[in-house]
Amino acid sequence: MTSDTISEQHEATPEERVDKSGWAATGAGLLGALAMTSCCILPLVLVSLGVTGVFIGQLTALYAYKWVTFSLAAAALGYGFWQAYRPVPAEGCATGICARPVDRGLMRGLLWGALATVLLALAFPYLAPLVLTF
């Protein structure tokens, strides 16, 4: 028997399938956090790193879409947190192999970092005058 025939005979059981929706929500939450920073924090970071150009000034035009990006980021983060913290169903672990073998610790860390970034982006317009006066 060759390895091709073995792989054709063996179908992935529900226990061997990886639930990728949690990672997709985590990635969407990270992208949403990046989008939230694009109007205010990202230009400041780029200038601090020495990146210059006309496009940096044009990033402030994205401020008008702040609430749209916040809504999408909040939805993605909410779903990601639900995926990361919900308990694994008992029938998923009945055979001793859980149906969701994902590294939840990494997923949770990324989600908390993205949440902190989104909250910082929301508070930045109010905190910037206080920070810039020093």
Q: How far apart are CA 14 and CA 26, in angstroms?
A: 22
Q: Where are the beta strands (DSSP E) in the chain?
A: none
pLDDT in tens, 104-128: 888 899 999 999 999 998 998 888 8
pLDDT of amino acid 16 = 44
pLDDT in tens, 13-29: 444 445 678 888 889 98
Band of residue 76 on the pLDDT scale cut at 50, 70, 90: very high
